[in-house]
Structure 1
Amino acid sequence: MLNNRILITLSLVFVFIANLASAQVQDTLLKPTDTIKTALIKAVPMDTARKKTDTVKYINPGKVAGRKAVFRSMLIPGWGQLYNNQLLNDKLNAKGEKTGHFWQRTYTLGKVGLIYGGFGALTLSYIESRKNYKIFLTEAQFRAANPGKQQNEDLKRYGNTNVLDAQAIYKRNSQIVIFSYFAVYAAQIIDAYVAARLNFFDVDDKLSFNLSPAIINNPDFMYGFNHAPALKLSLRF
């Protein structure tokens, strides 16, 4: 009897455990599976920015000096020449050369004096031409309004045609003087620019030339003379 009870009890325990395990399995099967959400990993941008290389920009000192000389000459005639003289003095001082300053200063002041001397001469010529033009114009107008009469006693020796011609000549002279003003103004600007560029034009000491007499063959000569004198020019760079 005791053995039967033990067997029945173990059977009941076994059945209970089996039912419990089956219930847990069914419960796990009914639960939805957890879906793993994969987060999109944003790609980290790589540092592809290229570092700007430090490039040294070449500046032509002759071009810069030329622009400054032109600007100064346009403002005040002769200022560009004085600027070039200062550039040359600084260049000679940098090399330790003290010679040539006097002659360079004299040359520069001579150019400036020539510029203003030209302007002064043109001004006097313009004033004289305009004065004579007005004199002959007034005389021509008076003779046209009063035939056979003369207003200016100093112009009695001039006929009517000569008065008109003189009026036209002095008018043309005035126009030529105005054109010459612009010519002198432009010439001093060009001179300042060229001198400024030449201040920075490096000429090597090895540059030289040699001029010597020579004899060349010329088969075209008559009487059997095939040689002719010539000059030989040799350049060394």
Structure 2
Amino acid sequence: MLKFKGLISFSLFVLCFVHLASAQVKDTLLKPIDTIKTTPIRVVRIDSPKKTIDTTKAKYVNPGKVAARKAVLKSLIIPGWGQLYNNQLLNEKLNAKGEKTGHFWQKTYTLSKVGIIYAGFTLLTLSYIDNDKGYKTFLKEAQFRALNKGQTENKSLDRYDDTNVLNNLAIFKRNRQIVIFSYFAVYAVNVVDAYVAARLNYFNIDDSLSMKITPSLMSNPNSMYGFNATPALKVSLRF
């Protein structure tokens, strides 16, 4: 009897152990695998597409700026060269329009500026030579009188006293400085004129551009004597 009870107890123990083992196996089979912890995440970099340059579209070049730059450079090297370059541009522009012999006065005006520039330099040079000669004459006389009281070296300057000699010396010296400044002024005007003329050669003026000035009336609510209209001029621009 005791053996029979022990056999039954052993059988129950084995059944419980088998049942626990099978439950453990099912639990491990049904449990999902955590792929986030086990598998590292790879970051994929998506490069933006490179911008392609449209080579078919040509870059705009302002011909007026190019011509003005060349005219200024030529005028800086040799005064008047920029004006000759502008005359060449004018000839090419007229030839392109089929006007080979037109605009005589416009060409003459362009070339005459070269003569004016060199005429100005010539007059300034003559003025500088004259003032420099006078300055040296009075300087020599002033130095002689400073060393020899009451005596005169140049007999043609006897009519001048010591004060007048010094005053004339200062005048001739100032005139020389003014002439030198005028040289730079004429040179600068030569450059500016070449630049402006080169830009105007490419300034578009055609029949579609017009200006009209007509008389008109303008309302004036603050007018005295009860008049609400004021005479005026109306300017109309058409492009």
TM range (shorter): 0.7 to 0.9
Superposed counterparts of 1:1-237, under 5 Å: 53-54=54-55, 55-98=57-100, 100-218=102-220, 222-237=224-239
CA contact (8 A) 1:66 1:194 kept: yes
Q: TM-score of the superposition, structure 1-length normalised?
A: 0.73
- Deviation (angstroms), 1:206: 1.4
- Deviation (angstroms), 1:123: 0.3
- Deviation (angstroms), 1:201: 1.8
Q: In the superposition, relative to structure 1, how do residues 218 and 154 fare at CA in structure 2: closer, same or farther (>3 Å)?
A: farther
Distance in 2 of aligned mates of 1:226 and 1:117: 58
Distance in 1 of aligned mates of 2:161 and 2:213: 63
Question: What residue number does 2:14 align with?
Answer: none
Deviations for 1:100-144, whole angstroms, at most 9, x for unmatched residues?
Answer: 342122112210110000000000000001000001101111111
Distance in 1 of aligned mates of 2:211 and 2:52: 51
Distance in 1 of aligned mates of 2:233 and 2:53: 59
CA contact (8 A) 2:220 2:229 kept: yes
Q: TM-score of the superposition, structure 2-length normalised?
A: 0.72
Question: What residue number does 2:19 align with?
Answer: none
CA contact (8 A) 1:85 1:104 kept: no
Distance in 2 of aligned mates of 1:221 and 1:150: 78
CA contact (8 A) 1:89 1:101 kept: no
Larger CA Rg, structure 1 vs 2: 1
Q: In the superposition, relative to structure 1, how do residues 52 and 235 fare at CA in structure 2: closer, same or farther (>3 Å)?
A: closer
Q: In the superposition, relative to structure 1, how do residues 204 and 106 fare at CA in structure 2: closer, same or farther (>3 Å)?
A: closer
Distance in 1 of aligned mates of 2:58 and 2:227: 64
Distance in 1 of aligned mates of 2:222 and 2:154: 73
CA contact (8 A) 2:90 2:107 kept: no
Deviations for 1:164-200, whole angstroms, at most 9, x for unmatched residues?
Answer: 1111111111111111111111111111111111111
State the identity %.
66
What amino acid maps onto 2:72 in structure 1?
V
What is the count of residue pairs matched by the alignment? 190
Q: In the superposition, relative to structure 1, how do residues 51 and 231 fare at CA in structure 2: closer, same or farther (>3 Å)?
A: closer
